[in-house]
Structure formats: structure tokens, C-alpha cells
Chain A
Amino acid sequence: MTAIIAFWIIVAALVIQGAFLVLKTRKPDPLTPWLLIAAGALLLATTVARSVAISFVAITGVYESLIVLAGIASFALAAYRLRKGADASRAFLFGGTFIAFLFMALSSSPLAPSGIKPPVPALRSAWLVLHVACTFIGEALFACGFVAALLQLFSRDGERRASFDRLTYTLVAIGYPLFTAGALVFGAIWAEAAWGRWWSWDPKETWALVTWLAYTAYLHLRLIKRRQSPWLPLLVVAGFLLALFTFLGVNFLLPGLHSYA
């Protein structure tokens, strides 16, 4: 129920932001941060309630993953809006909220059954919390970075492009170490404890590595080219599409050790 309310709050935020986008005002709407915080808090409450029901941290299925991603993205966007105040980009907020809306819409699809199920033995590990939580925070920031990179890509004004470049870089620079720690480092440590191998070249692992390489290429290229390369935002866009494929595509198309994730 809380997740459904959160979904409609995100829809309301999207409608309000859409209205402000077409209005002739430069200021972002004042309701967005509070609506996004409310949606994030409700999604957090959903996760807590499901965790209590199964006596384990409820981040073990696709539905739970999607609402966590939407919740983190909502909090990140609210934080950006509150920090930037009236200077916050309305287009970025709208795009980011739309991504949170897409996560929620996917969570209500048949691809993500919402039944509350306790985890199978393989998932009963403290490492799951670190592995999944850090990965999802990183991926939610990558999602916001994807929106900023698209805006950078399609901005004609040099100043706006530079502003979106800084925003993209900030989001990736925060998300990258979290994704590295969660998806690769904690994942490898957990894999050693569960399967006896740090790395198995499982499809999920391999595509997580490809995603990580894309963001690694972005950070290094930005360091070398100092914002001059047109490849910079494209790499972030590609990185997020790879992250999506790693998260959803591998689950449904490529069987492997992570078939339950």
C-alpha cells in the first residue's frame, strides 16, 4: 500500500514539474523536494515493513530492488533540489523523477512479482546488505547521472552544458566508488564465502565489470580531456544502459549464479 501511495506521489511530482517546465518561469516548483522526500520515505517504509515480515533485509528480489532504486533516486533528487535552491535545473529534476517513475512502473509489471518471500539459503548473508545496498545507491546515482548526461548532450548553450557536465561528473564521482565497493569488492568477498571463488565470470559479474569499465573510461577521459570530448556524456549514457542490462537484462536473458538477483 505504501509503495502505491509513493507511486502516485511521484506521479504528482512529475505532473507539477511538467507544468513548471512549460510555464514561463525559471524557478523550479517548491513542492518537488517535499513530494520526493515523502515518496522516498514511503518506499523506505515499504522496505522496512517487508524486512520485518521476512525477518531479513528485503532486497532480495526484482520488485524490492526497483522500489529501493526509486527511493534512493527520490532522496538524491530532493537533496539536489534543496541544495541548489532556486538554481536547481527543472529539466534535470523532471528527468530524474521520470526515471524514478519508470522504476516504480516496472515494479508493478509482471516481470517483478511483489509477493513477500523469505530468501533462499544462498541469500542469507550479512554480505548481501553491503553488496546490494552499495550497488543500488551507486546505480541510483548513475540513473540521475544518465539524465544529466542526456541534458549535457542536448544543451546548445555552453554555460548550461558546462553546468550539466559538473552535475554528471559529481553524480558519477559519488556513485562510482559505491558501485565499485558494492558490486565488485563486497560481491567478490561474498562470492568467496558462498562459492569458494572470488570471481566466476558469471553473466551478472561480467556485465557489472563492463558497466564499471564504462564509468572508469568516463572518469579517466574526463580527467584527460577536461570536458572537451563529446564522448564524455555518451559514455555516461552507455554506462547507465549497461547498468540497466546488468540489473534487468541479465536476470531475464542470461541464466547464471545470480538468477535470483
Chain B
Amino acid sequence: MESLRKCGLGGLVPQRGDSSLVAPGHPVVARIVAWISPASVFTGPAFLLVAALFSVNLTLCSFHRLTTQLALPRAERRHGPDLLHVGLIVLIVGAAWSARSATENRYTLAEGEKASLPGGEILTLRVFSFERYPDGRPKSWSSRIDLDSKGARRISDFDLRVNRPIRFGGYALYQTGYDETPVVALRGSGLDLPETLLQGSRLTGELGSIVFMAPDPDAEPGTRRFVFLADAEGGRKVVRGGHRRSGR
């Protein structure tokens, strides 16, 4: 029953979240919520203790059932439940092993950017492509990646998609999300400027400053335009630029 209660509680409250955000402005409620820890029910000691007891119980009962069945004449044996029980035990052992040994990292890359993996390998996002259905829902999105290890290219131009991860040298690489951040390409002769400016960023230089504000709400259908505020000696100007996408 404890297990059911915990599952129910954890199933109602989003997990891995910040439980302090549940009742902002109400310190007493926030303290109670933090004590119950609804956002981490399944990694808390109470649930793990119940799960451990269940696992021991399951193992002992499965062993008892299997030995009882094996004592019966062959024609009377029913091994379906044994199969299910053994499968559950394997699942629990596997989950415990994964929880102890596996680590998870997230990298957000724009096209052309690189990330260094924990083993020193270099992950490069070559191209990110995205397609939509006519109604605007995502149709497909993929990241073409390279992976270099010890100075040699191990994976070249792999098409990483949802439901199509790649496994290499103990790693499993998944494409889990995407974001579109408008970026302006700054071009100007004689200016000591970085190549790009992300939305919301301000860049200050000798000639003044520029803030990338937002996508242009008045852009014509099918076009992508963005609004910038550029302050310089000549006054404030609106600048329009292109964009590129990033994946993670």
C-alpha cells in the first residue's frame, strides 16, 4: 500500500522538479512540501526502502514457487508466472545497476559547434534540419553529427534522429530536443565583432551598441525577419537579419 501511495503521489506531481516552487510566498506550506519531497518521490529513501523490500520479497517468493513447481510431475508444472517473476527480478537488477553506473549529460549545440564529452571525445553538430507538416506540427528533425576521439574521426555525418540514437564506446547519444534561436550575422568592414549575436543579447562596441530584440511580428508569411535596436551616433536604427537553428 505504501508503494501504491508513493506511486500515486509521484504520479500527480511532476518529478525532478523544484518542490520549493509549489507554494511560493507560503513558507509553511513550502516547508511541508519540501519535507514530503513530492518532486523526488522515486529517489527518496522511503520509496527505495519499500522497493528494496518488495524486491527481496519477490526474489524469495519466486524461488519458493520455482522449487515447488520443479517438485511436481512435468505435466503439472506451470512456468508462466516463474518467467514473469524472473523477468521482473532481472528488470530490478538492471535498473539498480543502471542507476549506480550510468551518467547523463546534456549538450546544446548550434550548427558548427562542438562539445567535449567526459572521455575527451569531441561531438560536432554539422547540420540541424527541421521539417513541419502544413498544420505546423513537427514532421521530422535531425542532427547530422561527427564524433572525434584521440585525433581520429570515429563517426562521420551520422543522421541522429528521435528513435534513432547512436551507440559508440560506451556512449549512447540521443537527440532529445530542439530550439530555434534567431542569430544575426554581423558583417562590417573594419569592425572587431563576433560573427553572430543571439536574440536578447546586447553587443557594445566603439561605434555604439546593438540589441537583438525579437522576430519581426509584421514579417510576411514564409519570410523570417528579426527586429534589432542599434544605437550609434547617428541615432537608433532597425536592422534585419537571417537565422539559424540549433539542436540538442
Which residues of A are at the interface with B, using a C-beta cutoff of 8 A?
Answer: 117-118, 120-122, 124-125, 127, 177, 180, 185, 188, 190, 193-196, 198-203, 206-207, 209-210, 213, 250, 254-256
Whole-angstrom distance between the Cβ of B205 and the nearest chain A Cβ: 41
Contacts of B98 in A (CB 8 A): 198
Partner of B165 from the list A122, A196, A202, A250 (CB cut-off 8 Å) is: A196
| A210 surroundings in chain B (CB, below 8 A) | 4, 7-8, 11
Q: Report B60 CB to chain A, min CB distance, Å.
A: 14
Residue of B nearest to A118 (CB): B133
Which of A124, A198, A206, A213 is in CB contact (< 8 Å) with B163? A124
CA distance A195 to B162 in the complex (A): 8
If A180-B84, A196-B165, A196-B174 touch, does A118 touch B12 (CB 8 Å cutoff)? no
**Residues of chain B with a CB closer than 8 A to A124's CB:** 140, 162-163
Question: CB within 8 Å of A: which of B96-149?
Answer: 98, 104, 133, 135, 137-141
Q: Given the complex, which residues of A lie within 8 Å of B12, measured CB to CB?
A: 203, 254
List 29 A-B residue pairs with CB atoms under 8 Å apart, sorted by A's residue number: A118-B139, A120-B138, A120-B139, A121-B161, A122-B162, A124-B162, A180-B84, A185-B87, A188-B91, A190-B163, A193-B163, A193-B165, A195-B174, A195-B176, A196-B104, A196-B165, A196-B172, A198-B94, A198-B98, A199-B95, A200-B15, A201-B15, A201-B42, A203-B11, A206-B10, A210-B7, A210-B8, A213-B3, A254-B12
Residues in A neighbouring B141, C-beta threshold 8 A: 121
Instruction: Decide if B162 touches A254 in the complex (CB within 8 Å).
Output: no
Give the docked Cα–Cα distance between A23 and B104 (Å): 66
Could you tell me if B7 and A122 are in contact, using CB atoms closer than 8 angstroms?
no
Q: How far is the CA of A203 from the CA of B133 in the complex (A)?
A: 28
Question: Closest approach, in angstroms, between the C-beta of A132 and any C-beta of chain B?
Answer: 14
User: How far is B87's CA from A55's CA once the two chains are assembled, in angstroms?
Assistant: 35
When distances are taken between beta carbons in the complex, the residues of chain A under 8 Å from B84 are: 177, 180
Contacts of A190 in B (CB 8 A): 163
Determine whether the beta carbon of B135 is less than 8 Å from that of A117: yes
Q: B103 to chain A: closest CB distance in Å?
A: 11
Q: A121 and B138 in contact (CB under 8 A), knowing A196-B165, A198-B95, A199-B95? A: yes
| Most chain A Cβ neighbours within 10 Å, of B8, B87, B162 | B162
Separation of A83 and B133 alpha carbons in the complex (Å)? 47
Does the CB pair B163–A121 fall under 8 Å?
Answer: yes
Q: Check A201–B10 contact: CB distance below 8 A.
A: yes
Interfacial residues of chain B within 134-190, with CB under 8 A of chain A in the complex: 135, 137-141, 161-163, 165, 172, 174, 176
Q: Shortest CB–CB separation between residue A197 and chain B, in angstroms?
A: 8
Question: Which single residue of chain A is at the shortest CB-CB distance from B80?
Answer: A177
Which of B5-51 touch A at CB < 8 Å?
A: 7-8, 10-12, 14-15, 41-42
Counting chain B CB atoms within 10 Å of each CB, the highest count among A121, A194, A206 belongs to A121
- Report Cα–Cα, A207/B7, bound state, in Å: 7
Residues on B with beta carbons closer than 8 Å to the beta carbon of A256: 14
Q: Which one of B7, B87, B141 has the highest number of Cβ atoms from chain A below 10 Å of its Cβ? A: B7
Chain B residue at minimal CB-CB distance from A214: B4
* Complex Cα gap A256–B11 (Å): 10
Q: Closest CB-CB distance, B33 to chain A, in whole Å?
A: 17
**How many angstroms from the CA of A195 to the CA of B138 in the assembled complex?**
17
